[in-house]
Amino acid sequence: MTKPARNILQIGFGNFGPTHLAAWRSLGLADGLHVVDPSDQARQRCRDLGLPEDRVGASPEGFLDRADLVVVLAPTDRHFEVCQPLMGSGKPLFIEKPMTATLEEAEGLADLRGDQTVQVGFYFRAHPLAQRVKAEVDSGVLGDLRYISARFHGFKRARGDSGVVGNDAVHFIDQANWMMGALPKAVDAVTRDHFGRGYDDLALIRLFYPSGALAHIEVGCIQPGRWNDNIVPGSTQTKEFVVAGSEGAAEIDYQTSELRLHRVHHELVDGLWRPNNRGVEMPHGAIVEPHDVVAGEFAAFLDAVDGKAPVLAGIEECGVGMARVLDAVHRSAASEQRVAL
């Protein structure tokens, strides 16, 4: 359904900027899009992609008053300073993940928040394959969830604004929390900083959920990825997410848009626990394009702004709650101990 036009202010237009632009275009709302970025190069790229001169600027002044909603796509370590003056402004805010670089910043933003919709950019909550698996989980078809295993790694630039925990693991931690319907009660993590830049480039994370279920997440930019990345040119990626329950399992390969639903449970036969395998379904046929997923996030954001739906990834769970989990991951890695939340 077509959404009514609005003035959108996007703050930051780096690598992910063109995907956001394509998403607004696919929703038919790009005519209301204004972009600000301090980088000449970023602003030129924006113009090259068709934004008119009067809708591109270096800073929010002059654009903010007219904005009906704001999207923050600046580097993660700038999110707090960019968002702080917007909290309490009443303007709906979409903040790319992770909401902030630290727990203190996340709590600071939450304290300043007024009566405004805030959505964190947890992309996979709008991904059709993840949504299908979430529906399987919620319907009970997979039974009791026991284990989530996820891998998000490949050769790519080591970002200047965060490590692989804040940039990549955060996606699959959120997805695991979403599937489990809870935040973990404890985490155990090992990280490495091979480049000595103060950020992790490899992380192995275990999450312990209140139900007793576990998740294991491997992320890194120093080990191979199986496929070429569809967002950052020249990078490789493996992005796999597996959910195992007592009555079945789901395997998602995000790079190939493949979903396998295993209808299987173990049963005791002749004294041995054997799998009773009732078959595998591959219900999804189409390649999922990143800008379509982002368009889904934006559509959900607009529905929340219009009061038609709850926020897809809200500030309490996905901003502050996630910051608590990430903080525990870093404390666990530093202390080499399991950390309770």
Contact residues for ligand NAD (CB under 6 A)? 11-17, 36-39, 42, 73-76, 78, 82, 96-97, 121, 123, 167
What is the closest distance, in whole angstroms, from the C-beta atom of residue 185 to ligand NAD in the complex? 26
What is the closest distance, in whole angstroms, from the C-beta atom of residue 6 to ligand NAD in the complex? 20
What is the closest distance, in whole angstroms, from the C-beta atom of residue 301 to ligand NAD in the complex? 13
Separation CA 192–CA 253 (nearest Å): 26
What is the closest distance, in whole angstroms, from the C-beta atom of residue 5 to ligand NAD in the complex? 24
Return the number of the residue (101 or 183) whose C-beta is nearest ligand NAD: 101
Return the number of the residue (169 or 328) whose C-beta is nearest ligand NAD: 169
Return the number of the residue (67 or 145) whose C-beta is nearest ligand NAD: 67
What is the closest distance, in whole angstroms, from the C-beta atom of residue 304 to ligand NAD in the complex? 17
In the block, which residue shows the tokens 């800008």?
291
Q: Which residue is nearest to ligand NAD (CB)?
A: 14
Identity of the residue numbered 230: N
Return the number of the residue (78 or 206) whose C-beta is nearest ligand NAD: 78
Separation CA 113–CA 258 (nearest Å): 39
What is the closest distance, in whole angstroms, from the C-beta atom of residue 100 to ligand NAD in the complex? 10
Return the number of the residue (94 or 209) whose C-beta is nearest ligand NAD: 94
Return the number of the residue (157 or 278) whose C-beta is nearest ligand NAD: 157
- Nearest CA to 341 among 127, 223, 173, 221? 173
With beta carbons less than 8 A apart as the criterion, state whether 13 and 73 touch: yes
Return the number of the residue (262 or 291) whose C-beta is nearest ligand NAD: 291
SS (H, E, C) the chain: CCCCCCCEEEECCCCCHHHHHHHHHHCCCHHHEEEECCCHHHHHHHHHCCCCHHHEECCCCCCCCCCCEEEECCCHHHHHHHHHHHCCCCCCEEEECCCCCCHHHHHHHHHHCCCCCEEEECHHHHCHHHHHHHHHHHHCCCCCEEEEEEEEECCCCCCCCCCHHHHHHHHHHHHHHHHHCCCCCEEEEEEECCCCCCCCCEEEEEEECCCCCEEEEEEECCCCCCEECCCCCCCEEEEEEEEEECCEEEEEECCCCEEEEEEEEEEEECCEEEEEEEEEECCCCCCCCHHHHHHHHHHHHHHHHCCCCCCCCEHHHHHHHHHHHHHHHHHHHHHCCCEEC
With beta carbons less than 8 A apart as the criterion, state whether 193 and 200 touch: yes
What is the closest distance, in whole angstroms, from the C-beta atom of residue 274 to ligand NAD in the complex? 40
What is the closest distance, in whole angstroms, from the C-beta atom of residue 139 to ligand NAD in the complex? 27
What is the closest distance, in whole angstroms, from the C-beta atom of residue 250 to ligand NAD in the complex? 21
Return the number of the residue (172 or 209) whose C-beta is nearest ligand NAD: 172
With beta carbons less than 8 A apart as the criterion, state whether 138 and 203 touch: no
Return the number of the residue (66 or 338) whose C-beta is nearest ligand NAD: 66
